[in-house]
Amino acid sequence: MNSVAANSAIVLLFILIGGFFAAAEMALVSLRESQIRKLEQRGRRGARVAKLAQDPNRFLSAVQIGVTVATMLSAAFGADRLAGELEPTLVSWGLPRGLAQPVALVLVTLAISYLSLVLGELAPKRLARQRAEGLSLVVAPFLDRLASLSRPVIWALSKSTDGVVKLLGGNPHADREEMTTEELRDMVVGHTDLTADERHLIAEVFSAGKRQLREVMLPRTEVEFMEADTPLAEAAVLAATLPHSRFPVYRGSYDEIAGFVHVRDLLDPVLTGQIEPISRLVPIRPVKFVPASKRLLTTLSEMRDEGHHLAIVVDEYGGTAGIVTLEDLVEELIGDIRDEYDIEEPPVPLPAGEVELDGLTNLNDFAAQTGINLPNGPYETLGGFVLAGLGHLAAVGEKVEIPGFDLTVTELDGRRISRVRVKRRTLIESPPEPDS
């Protein structure tokens, strides 16, 4: 009985050694970049952890050697010693001697496998993930020395592995595929520790990363420009009637933007009633120019860092396509920001199944409000889609049919489609009433 207990203790020791290596591996590979940087500043031991974590190939091979050797020793020693101890017991229970030996070997192997999974893999790894930083500080010195001592063995294993990979047609130097943007977004947005608002904001950031300025800009037909020769008194009256703080200034045409003027300069009491051109009386401030193909988030970062609140969007021909403001770009991430100067149109009562939208609604906002995804094409707005579908300049009352819905032009602003009514199409017409 004493020999059984001693042999069992030795097997258990091998299993626990394997569990130590498994826990060490999990602790180091679970460290995030922020944790590694923090540990690197915690003295020599923390620096050693950072060194190991930043070079995983160095310690993973050593850890794998330790896990494999410990597992093989526990299985081999247990099968050799404990199976022999169990065999007489099985014979005493009436099992034939010729069958008792293989049955004892199978039972001992199953028992060792169970303990190896629980004590040598699952439990150590789960605990290591919960205490990654603390455990990493404990195991790092040992693993660092083990990796140095095992370097010849690791080199031999690496070369052997490379040869097998080449033999099977693989590339031994290729790494795993990098995580795609979609996978990263799904992982972050699905994180249970984030609130619904935080997940929504992160999803909007990922979505905005693909959007270009042409999709979110205010087109030039909707921009309030001021000519450089406009009398100050006239410009002040215009500025006082509009809810804008900055106005692009042009010379000759909208494609020749000289800069912008601020409303506080136009309404300066000292200059009240002056009829000289604004270019002589108030500062024309420099304005940022950006291509229509520029990404939204890149532009937002640049405007924030450079202190710009207004940017002129330039098309591929060098002409003015529209403008974007810092507020517009932020709203693409967090939604509309309304203040006391924003004019909110009262909702128009419509029959059930109908909605009326601005023709300048971009396709992403249209999909969010209606659940209808319009096909991509040479347009960025709802009005542009309807115009492309018609194939000619629109007239009030004309409509474009899409699966399940009619898009009807209800209002024009010059030649631009300014309002579109979306109506669900009745799929089954009511049968005519029979004649009496």
124-147 pLDDT, tens digit per residue, is 888 888 888 888 888 888 887 887
CATH of residue 382's domain is: 3.30.465.10
Question: Are 324 and 372 in a shared domain?
Answer: no
**Angstrom distance (rounded) from CA 227 to CA 222:** 16
Instruction: Find all residues with CB under 8 Å of 406, minimum gap 6, and list them.
Output: 399, 400, 422, 423, 425
Question: Are 411 and 324 in a shared domain?
Answer: no
3-state secondary structure of 355: strand
Q: Which whole number is the average pLDDT over 378-394?
A: 90
Is there a contact between 229 and 277 (Cβ–Cβ < 8 Å)? yes
3-state secondary structure of 30: coil
Residue 349's identity, in one-letter code, is: P
pLDDT(225) > 90: yes
**Residues facing residue 324 across a β-bridge:** 311
**Angstrom distance (rounded) from CA 213 to CA 329:** 9
Instruction: Find all residues with CB under 8 Å of 220, minimum gap 6, and list them.
Output: 254, 320, 321, 322, 323
Question: Are 48 and 162 in a shared domain?
Answer: yes
pLDDT(409) > 50: yes
- What does the longest C-alpha to C-alpha distance in the chain come to? 118
Number of domains within the chain: 3
Q: Which whole number is the average pLDDT over 412-416?
A: 87
Q: Which whole number is the average pLDDT over 26-32?
A: 82
pLDDT digits (tens, 9 = 90+) for 269-328: 888 888 899 999 999 999 999 999 999 999 999 999 999 999 999 999 999 999 999 988
Question: Are 265 and 378 in a shared domain?
Answer: no
Q: Which whole number is the average pLDDT over 247-252?
A: 94
β-bridge pairing 354-358 and 320-325 = unpaired
Q: What is the pLDDT of residue 177?
A: 59
Is residue 363, in this structure, part of any structural domain at all? yes
Is residue 258, in this structure, part of any structural domain at all? yes
pLDDT digits (tens, 9 = 90+) for 334-357: 777 766 555 555 545 556 678 888
Instruction: Give the Cα-Cα-Cα angle 33, 36, 38 (nearest 5 degrees).
Output: 110
Question: Are 162 and 34 in a shared domain?
Answer: yes
Question: Are 255 and 301 in a shared domain?
Answer: yes
Question: Are 279 and 313 in a shared domain?
Answer: yes
Question: Are 111 and 256 in a shared domain?
Answer: no
CATH of residue 311's domain is: 3.10.580.10
Give the domain extent around 362: 354-424
**Residues facing residue 310 across a β-bridge:** 325
Percent over 90 (pLDDT), the chain: 26
Is residue 207, in this structure, part of any structural domain at all? no
> Could you tell me how many residues make up the chain?
436
CA atoms within 13 A on the CB side of 332: 26
β-bridge pairing 226-227 and 246-251 = parallel
Residue 413's identity, in one-letter code, is: D
Question: Are 314 and 370 in a shared domain?
Answer: no
Q: What is the pLDDT of residue 436?
A: 42
Q: Which whole number is the average pLDDT over 158-186?
A: 73
State the pLDDT confidence band at 68, using cuts at 50, 70 and 90: confident
43-53 and 33-40 are packed helices; what angle lies between their axes, rounded to 10 degrees? 150
pLDDT(423) > 80: yes
Helix (H) or strand (E) segment spanning residue 356:
strand 354-358
State the pLDDT confidence band at 429, using cuts at 50, 70 and 90: very low
pLDDT digits (tens, 9 = 90+) for 183-215: 666 776 666 677 777 777 777 777 777 788 988
Q: Which of 11-25, 159-173, 360-374 has the lowest average pLDDT?
A: 159-173
Question: Are 94 and 9 in a shared domain?
Answer: yes
**Angstrom distance (rounded) from CA 403 to CA 372:** 10
